[in-house]
Amino acid sequence: MADHNGGQSGSTDAGTAVEPSVPRTVSSGTAVVVQDGIPNPGHQPHRLRVTDLDPKKEKEASRRVSGLFFLSLIGSVAAVVFYFVFPIDPSNLASVRINTLSLGVAISLGLLGIGIGAVHWAKALMSDAEITEERHGTRGSDATRAKAVDVFTLGNKESGFGRRALIRNSLFAALAVTPIPAVVLFRDLAPAEEPGELLRHTMWDKGVRLTRDPSGTPIKASDVTYGSAFHVIPDGLNEEEDRLEQKAKASVLLMRLRPEDLIEPDEKKDWSYQGIVAYSKICTHVGCPVALYEQQTHNLLCPCHQSQFDVSDQAKVIFGPASRPLPQLPIAIDDEGYLVAQSDFHEPVGPSFWEREL
């Protein structure tokens, strides 16, 4: 190793020297150039393994490796056997588990046997002598670079790319514009209507009954006891073609508080009915359903990002990332005593968007 190290040690100080075959000097920036560094001690003597020294151990290792490969064989065959021996029985859910477990364990035995065997082979039996390979600077040699420059110069000369400015610039312009049709083609990813308008309307309208989610049975005011909360959808939603899109806007939570607990501004005094209030269930943050109602504190909690809304005070935000109160659905009762909407929401429900207040 002395011969190898001899050529290197002068330039190995602090392990930062540039590859010596590049004669060019490269700035080392603010790196300190070491004058008094410790010399690289060079390669250390190779240490033999127990399998190199003891033929018995070598034989054992070799048996272990082939044993592992045989184990893999057993695993792979077992996997095929298990596939047929442990089928899925539709009437027995446990069969799914047994199928998954037996197949998976057998296949992993097939894989691990090969893997551990091969690594063991490499570590115990293959040569573990370290070999040194010289690096060359990543940069091409000066001659190569000169040739490359020639290629471009020649290409430029023969095509007139640099000289014929009109051709070149018109090509650039054409190339820049060609992708635009590809972008325009994607317009029909969405239907023609203006999306902003769709977000302003829900299925709620004057006289639409409040019904239970998901059964769709109407709710009488007398069913709503103090402290209870109902998950509500508009009547007829389940029959809609675009059921989920409508539900994503029209879901409502219905709660009854003691009327004296409710703080209501004058213009919304008649939006509730005997302490029964209805608020949009779609969070004004990013639109998760605000599904958790805490009846003691009258707080609604969004399970996604923990925004909290105070139902007793117009569903205002009291904690969390949401900004706006949940929109309130004005309700009343119809002739049969069922709860109905007085109108649609008076503002867009769900997450904020740029044109929301227009």
Partner 1 sequence: MSTATETPVTTTEPSTTSTAYGPFASPTRGARFTGAAANYIDERTSISGLVKEVGRKIFPDHWSFMLGEVALYSFVAILLSGTFLTFFFQPSMVPVHYEGSYVPLKGIEMSAAYASSLDISFDIRGGLLMRQVHHWAALLFVASIGLHMLRIYFTGAFRKPREINWIIGFVLFILAMAEGFTGYSLPDDLLSGNGLRIIDGMVKAIPIFGVWVSYLLFGGEFPGTDVVSRFYTLHILLLPAILVAALGVHLLLLVINKHTQFAGPGKTNGNVVGVPVMPVFAAKAGGFFFIVFGVIMLIAATFTINPIWNYGPYDPSPVSAGTQPDWYIGFADGALRLVPPHLEFLVFGDYTLSMNILLPLLVLPLFLGLVAFYPFIEAWITGDKREHHILDRPRNTPVRTAIGVAGVVFYAVLWASASSDLIATHFKLSIEGVIHGLQALFFLGPIIAYIVTKRICFGLQKKDREIALHGFESGRIVRLPGGEYIEVHQPLSDAERWRLTSYTDYEPLMIRPNSNGKITATQRLRAGFSRWFFEDRILPVSKGEIEASHHGDDH
The number of residues making up the chain comes to 358
**Cα(207)–Cα(344) distance, rounded to whole angstroms?**
10
Under DSSP, is residue 88 helix (H, G, I), strand (E, B) or coil?
coil
Residues 297-356 that bind partner 1 (CB under 8 A): 301, 303-307, 317-324, 350-356
Distance in Å, CB of 116 to partner 1, minimum: 6
Tokens of 260: 């004296």
The only residue of 73, 112, 229, 257 in contact with partner 1, by rule CB under 8 A? 112
Q: What is the largest CA-CA distance in the chain?
A: 105
**Cα(304)–Cα(321) distance, rounded to whole angstroms?**
11
Count of beta carbons in the 10 Å neighbourhood of residue 297: 13
Residues 24-53 that bind partner 1 (CB under 8 A): 26-32, 34, 36-46, 52
**Cα(42)–Cα(40) distance, rounded to whole angstroms?**
5
208 binds partner 1 (CB under 8 A): no
Contact present, 245 and 237 (Cβ < 8 Å): no
DSSP state of 46: P
Query: Which of 178, 237, 173, 190 lies closest to 210 in space, CA to CA?
Result: 237
The only residue of 289, 326, 341, 349 in contact with partner 1, by rule CB under 8 A? 289
177 binds partner 1 (CB under 8 A): no
1 binds partner 1 (CB under 8 A): yes
Encoded one letter per residue, x for contact with partner 1 by CB under 8 A and - for no contact, window 69-108 reads: --------------x---xx-xx-x--x--xxx-xxx-xx
The stretch near partner 1 (CB under 8 A) out of 129-137, 145-153, 170-178, 204-212 is 129-137
Distance in Å, CB of 275 to partner 1, minimum: 24
242 binds partner 1 (CB under 8 A): yes
The stretch near partner 1 (CB under 8 A) out of 113-121, 166-174, 204-212, 267-275 is 113-121
Query: Which of 270, 271, 239, 233 lies closest to 252 in space, CA to CA?
Result: 233
185 binds partner 1 (CB under 8 A): no
